[in-house]
Structure 1
């Protein structure tokens, strides 16, 4: 019918300009508002739109989505039997929420498997990962920030100060799977390592431009620093990574980040519906819109290095491959921050770490139902 065609056209148009935008009908918006105002459980998936479908930006570590081995780049074909083709992103997020211990049925298209996989996930109150840290050999302090939500930046600050007391001379900041938290918290995270200079700027056609600069009294670490990113590094974490790279405060190893750094607003329509869309973008100190291209590391690890083994259904076997890839990234970061290797050696693949400087595709292509 014409209504469905019109809604699909609107959704497609919005996706072409903003993969995180949504157009909600009056009924959908009422349901969305009710859900937003009430605490509900979920499955821990951070979402965007790709090819007209709902795509996974990240599965929060330890969440039901993570335990089901859903990963960055997977497409959700349907939720509880409802196709996500041209479904508003905000409505898809609403369908995933519900009461704790209730279930939701997903049909998921994996990166390396063209056939949809049926999954049943149990909703839970997802806990965002705490900041972890440890002192490694050679006086390298390792800090893993998997979320910048809540008080996680304060946790990171305390961990860094503790590592200094333990004698750390170098810091590796791991931002892999850091996809949750406000952009303002990403600015605060960057400031822990900067005493001056621009962190990020916010610009939009009808939004007053803002420049965010480092505050000298907020810096807690001025020693050698290397940052690790992956395809699930998004939002506030990208702002921090971009600032540290552009201000020449740190080198970055890993994968290009997702590309999600904007100011979004909800615009209510006369018919009771609403559009949720980005009205301004965050720009790195070098002038690049993070939303458009993500953050490109100094050294990129080819995505197919140490690829996981596949089961008979063509799905990745948990625990195979990914751990080695992460260990290699950490080894690269440690060797780089301690001066045991250089950017030139890492990009040429001459360091014997089993990695190369091959640049991976940002999001490997997924076969959609339309391309079968």
Structure 2
């Protein structure tokens, strides 16, 4: 039928038709929109090349986490601290309507992000819709190289250790384990594990990082499109199984972060402090196509050990703490609440 339609258009359409590649890409996108899944998406070759940078732990763009809402709008979940998006005043909850004059409303998630990203030093103009503003407005952002140090660790007051994991790359478990051992050697008697603004990463790393803090049991359950189910276990005998623990999460905590935090919460290993997480509990399998484009297909969903769905729901912290917009620079109410909990036990 598609071939028949193309033949009719070729013979009868009044006006010039786009080239075959453009027509094919448009047909593919139209097909995928019927699936009602923003994470199953087609990515053109130049944008696919940009996404492949993620494996390196750094990328070039504006420095913000985003999500595609059910109504087709791209929403800023959180601008990353100190990065260009925050510098120009972009806020959590802002809606990106267009990029350099191209509407992204209804566009696939990865394609929209690919338009926002670009070489460091170049500028991109975003049309922003903001609650409370009557009209959309334009913001020009100078892109930068966004380097995400995988692990940051230090000792805080009262012998409380702190580890921030920014991404589940292929070194995550090794780095978290090394940081934890160093803090224990310094006499840490409690630990804050910070997964805020961590967008996720590799499944095997999520399972192994979770295992560091959990004794024998289940970390996560995967159910695929054919009805198959697989449980991912943790084993007894790891470094972080007994140290008093708090996990920090927020709206930028997604995917692998939610797997780890959900397991820790379900198994009553620690409390979660912060804000509702993003709610990305699906698994995408990338297919590299012959022309350099890529098709990402949702093949499975994640569930917590207590069989709770993450997807579209997110994780609700045991103790909810927001960070008001007028919070003085350098203050972190969520971290302070975690320290209070570990120090006072409530």
Is structure 2 residue 338 aligned with structure 1 residue 321?
no
The equivalent residue for 2:5 is none
Tell me, in whole angstroms, the C-alpha distance in 2 between the residues paired with 1:104 and 1:257.
28
Query: 1:289-344 CA distances to partner (integer Å, 9 max, x unpaired)?
Result: 2123111111112x4xx632xxxxxxxxxxx32758x6322232222223x243xx
The equivalent residue for 1:336 is 341
SS of the residue corresponding to residue 223 of structure 1 reads: coil
The equivalent residue for 1:105 is 125
Correspondence for 2:155 among 128, 135, 145: 135
90 and 246 in structure 1: CA distance in 2 versus 1, 3 angstrom threshold: same
Correspondence for 1:29 among 44, 52, 59: 44
137 and 262 in structure 1: CA distance in 2 versus 1, 3 angstrom threshold: same
The equivalent residue for 1:162 is 182
TM-score, normalization: structure 1? 0.74
The equivalent residue for 2:324 is 307
Correspondence for 1:231 among 251, 264, 269: 251
Tell me, in whole angstroms, the C-alpha distance in 2 between the residues paired with 1:268 and 1:183.
20
Correspondence for 2:266 among 240, 246, 261: 246
Correspondence for 1:197 among 217, 226, 234: 217
Aligned alpha-carbon RMSD (Å): 3.3
298 and 322 in structure 1: CA distance in 2 versus 1, 3 angstrom threshold: farther
6 and 29 in structure 1: CA distance in 2 versus 1, 3 angstrom threshold: closer
99 and 268 in structure 1: CA distance in 2 versus 1, 3 angstrom threshold: closer
Give the conservation status (yes or no) of the 8 Å contact 2:65–2:252: no
Tell me, in whole angstroms, the C-alpha distance in 1 between the residues paired with 2:277 and 2:297.
21
Tell me, in whole angstroms, the C-alpha distance in 2 between the residues paired with 1:96 and 1:78.
9
Tell me, in whole angstroms, the C-alpha distance in 2 between the residues paired with 1:110 and 1:158.
42
100 and 137 in structure 1: CA distance in 2 versus 1, 3 angstrom threshold: closer
SS of the residue corresponding to residue 76 of structure 1 reads: strand
Tell me, in whole angstroms, the C-alpha distance in 2 between the residues paired with 1:37 and 1:165.
38
Correspondence for 1:44 among 63, 84, 104: 63
Is structure 2 residue 192 aligned with structure 1 residue 172?
yes
- Deviation, 1:60, is 4.0
Q: How many aligned positions are there?
A: 320
Tell me, in whole angstroms, the C-alpha distance in 2 between the residues paired with 1:71 and 1:327.
17
Tell me, in whole angstroms, the C-alpha distance in 1 between the residues paired with 2:288 and 2:158.
56
TM-score, normalization: structure 2? 0.79
- Deviation, 1:137, is 2.4
Alignment gaps of 5+ in structure 1: 309-319, 343-372
Q: Choose 1 or 2 for highest CA Rg.
A: 2
Query: 1:184-231 CA distances to partner (integer Å, 9 max, x unpaired)?
Result: 322222111112110001112226422111133444342111111111
- Deviation, 1:135, is 1.9
- Deviation, 1:151, is 2.2
Alignment gaps of 5+ in structure 2: 1-12, 14-22
